[in-house]
Amino acid sequence: MSELNLILLGPPGAGKGTQAERLVDDFDLPYLATGDILRQAVKDETELGREAKEYMDRGDLVPDDLIVRVIVDRLNTDEASDGFILDGFPRTVPQAEALRDALARLDRSLTAALLVDASDEEVMSRISGRRICVKAGHVYHVETDPPKNDGICDQDGSRLVQRDDDKPETVQKRLSVYHDQTEPVIGFYEDAGLLRRFDGNRSPEEVHDHIRATLATLKLEGEL
Ligand code: AP5
């Protein structure tokens, strides 16, 4: 099978990270989530983290040049040479163009852009109940996907916390940034014939089944 180069698109809280965890298990691909990379950089107080923090706390996007450098460098390593899942990148049309050009320089291309969509109302209720583990960022929801033991990650036993940018006013801002700056990326991939849409309002299992079926069809069509 040729390499599987996937991106996950969609509003905050649509379930991109939730689906990515499942796809990583299915296909054993490296997973690059720009939000996780940036949150780790903030925690480690690196130069990237110091630059990114103020934008993230406001619910704004970090500048394109900052995040493009991080991702392009990672794609150009052995880690991602047999395929990848990108979550949270690209988020602007210039980022999408930079990704296309960087892959072309490596004589590679994207397999598909997977859009997991959900309504603003659904997103608000999901994000308010989201909890992540401090060790690896595993994702839970207090009502729809609770851990077996309250406040403790099933996978690594670490503590579950709420993300700093999951306050309601910051989520509103992230949603409006999504509509203004990231929705045009959907058209970019539609024009390139790479877009595949999934109804993120459905259960995690249904969304996962739909994505797997779509990837299987792409394989049968010889695109993988
Ligand atoms: P990032 O971390 O990428 O946040 P996001 O895109 O806003 O997405 P989320 O992580 O909030 O949501 P998700 O879709 O992964 O949902 P999840 O699976 O967790 O980015 C954070 C910040 O970093 C940005 O604001 C920006 O500042 C910066 N940044 C990142 N990338 C950047 C870039 N490329 N350029 C510039 N700046 C960048 O699910 C949410 C909740 O719902 C969970 O509790 C989950 O259990 C539950 N859930 C999931 N699926 C379902 C379902 N189907 N049904 C019911 N509940 C569900």
- CATH code (residue 82): 3.40.50.300
pLDDT at residue 223, rounded to an integer: 55
Q: Is 89 in the pocket of ligand 1 (CB under 6 A)?
A: yes
Which amino acid is residue 86, in one-letter code? L
| 188 domain-assigned | yes
Which atom of ligand 1 is closest in space to residue 61's alpha carbon?
37
How many domains are there within the chain?
1
Mutate to test the pocket of ligand 1, among 48, 128, 130, 167 (most ligand atoms within 8 A of CB): 130
CA distance 220 to 170: 42
| 199 domain-assigned | yes
Q: Is 35 in the pocket of ligand 1 (CB under 6 A)?
A: yes
Q: Is 7 in the pocket of ligand 1 (CB under 6 A)?
A: no
Q: Is the dihedral of CA 132, 88, 205, 126 positive or negative?
A: positive
Q: Is 29 in the pocket of ligand 1 (CB under 6 A)?
A: no
Q: Where are the alpha helices (DSSP H) in 28-167?
A: 34-43, 47-58, 64-75, 93-105, 120-129
pLDDT in tens, the chain (224 residues): 478 999 999 999 999 999 999 999 999 899 999 999 999 999 999 999 999 999 999 999 999 999 999 999 899 888 888 899 999 999 999 999 999 999 999 999 999 999 999 999 999 989 999 999 999 889 999 998 899 999 999 999 999 999 989 988 899 999 999 999 999 999 999 999 999 999 999 999 999 999 999 998 887 776 55
| 162 domain-assigned | no
How many whole angstroms from 172 Cα to the centroid of ligand 1?
13
pLDDT at residue 218, rounded to an integer: 84
CA distance 143 to 101: 42
| 142 domain-assigned | no
CA distance 202 to 210: 10
pLDDT at residue 10, rounded to an integer: 97
**CA distance between the termini of the chain:** 6
Specify whether 91 is catalytic: yes
Question: Which is catalytic among the residues 163, 167, 202, 212?
Answer: 163
Structural domain that includes position 31: 4-119+182-223
Question: Is residue 149 packed enough to be buried (19+ CB in 10 Å), middle (13-18) or exposed (0-12)?
Answer: exposed
Nearest to 106 by CA among 88, 138, 124, 84: 84
pLDDT at residue 80, rounded to an integer: 86
